Amino acid sequence: MPHRKKKSFIEKKKAVTFHLVHRSQRDPLAADEKAPQHVLLPAAKVDAEKRREEQRQFGVFFDDDYDYLQHLKVASGPTELVAAGPSYFDSGSSDFRDEEEENKVETVSKDIP
């Protein structure tokens, strides 16, 4: 007699997962003593392949089930870089100064005895 493939009890593709959570305080049955204080909440099962494709667009290439997109922020707008004025705390590095600024520094140093 050939072995038959057993039909599984739970079909994983059609299965629904639940989480046991405390009943909300806003629920009217929360004050009822006969009503259970815990309820079953269906777990949101997001299409994993769709989420992974979206993560790849943003440069996330981890191969686990964690949703890294929840940490992304919406850009507030274009940013602008503003150059700071010259800093004089380092007198040894004059590579970034203009010739006019070097002349000013030299004239100041000549005036001081």
Tokens of 55: 């993560």
What local confidence, expressed as pLDDT, does residue 1 receive?
Answer: 60
pLDDT at 88: 67
Maximum CA pair distance of the chain?
A: 113
pLDDT band for position 13 (50/70/90)? confident
d(CA 25, CA 19): 17
Instruction: Examine the pLDDT at 111 and tell me if it is beyond 60.
Output: no
One-letter amino acid at 17 equals: T
Q: What is the mean pLDDT of the chain?
A: 76
CA 28/CA 107 separation, integer angstroms: 83
Distance CA 77, CA 63 (A): 31
Percent of the chain whose pLDDT exceeds 70: 71
Give the DSSP H or E segment for 39: strand 38-42
How would residue 109 be classed by pLDDT, with cut points 50, 70 and 90? low
Query: Could you report the per-residue pLDDT of 37-58, keeping only the tens digit for each?
Result: 999 988 766 567 788 888 889 8
